[in-house]
A and B are shown apart, each in its own frame.
Chain A
Amino acid sequence: MQKNRPKYLNLFRIKLPLPGFVSILHRASGLLLFLALPVLLWMLQASLMSIETFTGLQGYLDHPLLKLLLIGLLWALLHHFFAGLRYLLIDMHKLPGLAGARHSAVWVLLLSLSLTLLLGVKLW
């Protein structure tokens, strides 16, 4: 069957609704965390191995650029965490309807961004 629906594959012409925005960020943050895994595992190793590697790691993380990177990863984790919780609640039919989906999407963005800001300031 031939359909004449318009197709907008131009990413800049697609206007995502808020839940869609949260959804694509959930995907992006997940991929980011996956790509950061070797660095995160290396950090865990350095933090546990010996007092020398522990203080060495602290020295690395004093660098503002690495701190910024870590705060970026913190945002990815927090967004993925809260957006994931939202999906679990949706699975359990706890956020019914369009209003539930929209309100919870706002909450995910608010919680992840404010916690990133709070912890980011503390980390800095």
Chain B
Amino acid sequence: MVNRVVVGAHYGLRDWLIQRVSAVLMAVYLVTLAGYWCWQPSHNYDTWTALFSSQWMRSFSLLFLLSLFYHAWVGVRDIVMDYVKPAAVRLVIHVGVILLLLLYSIWSVQILWGM
């Protein structure tokens, strides 16, 4: 049993909510993309890049990827908190994961708008 007096800034409710909101957003994106894939008669480079040529699709894709990265942060953080006990190791992994996900975010913009 957790006996804790709630007095501080935040106790995970925000992350709990973001985890679910990002999950719904990713699910909508993936189902939309899968539907488009089934409906599209031919699959080649031209149809693939045409799909990603509109600003709308690029924005939706970036939103999907940013949701994915935040979702991954909450998930990996929870796993690390469960299995990695030494504070120093935990801190190093946390910082590494944050930096990695920030780099992925920059990379995602480059992929979607640099094509």
Contact = CB atoms under 8 A, between A and B. Distances in A.
B106 to A, nearest CB: 11
Contacts, number: 44
Given A30-B75, A34-B72, A84 B48 contact: no
B79 interface: yes
A34 B76 contact: yes
Please report whether the interface of chain A is mostly helix, strand, loop or mixed according to DSSP. Answer: helix
Contact of A31 (B30, B49, B79, B108): B79
B23 A88 contact: yes
B115 interface: yes
A48 B53 CA distance: 10
B20 A49 contact: no
Given A27-B79, A48-B48, A41 B111 contact: yes
A54 B107 CA distance: 18
Nearest to A38: B104
Contact of B111 (A34, A48, A81, A84): A48
Contacts of A30: 72, 75, 79
A114 interface: no
Contacts of A45: 107, 111
A34 B100 CA distance: 11
B84 interface: no
B45 interface: yes
A23 interface: no
A36 B20 CA distance: 22
Contact of B48 (A27, A37, A38, A47): A47
20 contacts: A27-B75, A31-B76, A31-B79, A33-B72, A34-B72, A34-B76, A37-B72, A41-B108, A44-B111, A45-B111, A47-B48, A48-B49, A48-B52, A48-B111, A48-B112, A48-B115, A55-B45, A84-B23, A84-B27, A88-B24
Given A44-B111, A54-B48, A55-B45, 13 more contacts: A27-B79, A31-B79, A34-B75, A34-B76, A38-B104, A41-B107, A41-B111, A45-B107, A48-B48, A48-B112, A49-B114, A54-B45, A88-B23
